[in-house]
Amino acid sequence: KKAAIFISGGGSNMLALIEAAKDPAYPVEFVAVISDKKDAGGLAKAEARGIRTAAFERKDYDSKEAHESAILEFLAGLQPDFLCLAGYMRLLTGKFISAYENRIVNIHPSLLPLFRGLHTHQRAIEAGMKVAGCTVHYVTEGMDEGPIIAQAAIPILDGDTSDTLAARVLTAEHRIYRDALKKVAGGILATDDTARVISFG
Ligand code: GRF
């Protein structure tokens, strides 16, 4: 199966996926990395690994729709089977999502449905949670909603800051994203029993 990865920043999740796909047995080929930021650090990492990249700065387009149309046009040339959002800090319109119905996945750094949105680790610490974690889910119009495919629960340790917790969760993000995509590539929907990927610590 072919997939395109969307990033806005450093792309450590993107890198983990690209590394996983080096294994010929991995059922996904990443055909492009797309960013909404020309200066996204992940673009150079993708290019260094021979993966086509494209940047679409929002400010270069008159509207959100025009911005998304340019991306959809680029994708039409590649025909990816699904899209992987990985640190992509932009919401997709229903029109975009319907073009890839049930074929867009996202990684979010919390145990959804808890802590949708930003600053998830700080919020979990402030809430007195004993566990944090990350979630791979299908993308729907709502922010950080959609059927859950994989989750990892990560302990919050005494003295953790959002940075120390983020680093611990990020390692788990890489692991569950890689494993979850194998399920998605196999055409398994989040609602199937065998879809779920769970890990601890
Ligand atoms: C990660 O916590 C990811 O879950 C969130 O953005 C952070 C950085 O991701 N979406 P990456 O290193 O750019 O993949």
**What does the alpha-carbon distance between residue 165 and residue 155 come to, in Å, rounded to a whole number?**
9
Position 192 scores a pLDDT of 74
The answer to whether the CB of 11 is under 6 A from ligand 1 is yes
Assembly ipTM: 0.91
From first to last of the 201 residues of the chain, give the pLDDT tens digit.
999 999 999 999 999 999 999 999 999 999 999 999 999 999 999 999 999 999 999 999 999 999 999 999 999 999 999 999 999 999 999 999 999 999 999 999 999 999 999 999 999 999 999 999 999 999 999 999 999 999 999 999 999 999 999 999 999 999 999 999 998 998 777 677 777 777 777
β 148-155/197-200 pair status: parallel
The b-or-e profile of 87-101 (16+ CB within 10 A means b, else e) is: bbeeebeeebbebbe
**What does the alpha-carbon distance between residue 143 and residue 16 come to, in Å, rounded to a whole number?**
24
The closest-lying atom of ligand 1 relative to the alpha carbon of residue 120 is 2
Position 7 scores a pLDDT of 98
> Which of 18, 108, 170, 176 has most ligand 1 atoms within 8 Å of its beta carbon, as the pocket-test mutant?
170
Position 43 scores a pLDDT of 98
**What does the alpha-carbon distance between residue 81 and residue 185 come to, in Å, rounded to a whole number?**
8
Position 27 scores a pLDDT of 96
Position 150 scores a pLDDT of 94
Ligand 1 center from residue 54 Cα (angstroms): 19
Q: Which residues are catalytic?
A: 108
H/E run at residue 16: helix 12-20
- Record the pTM: 0.94
Nearest CA to ligand 1 atom 10: 87
β 131-138/148-155 pair status: antiparallel
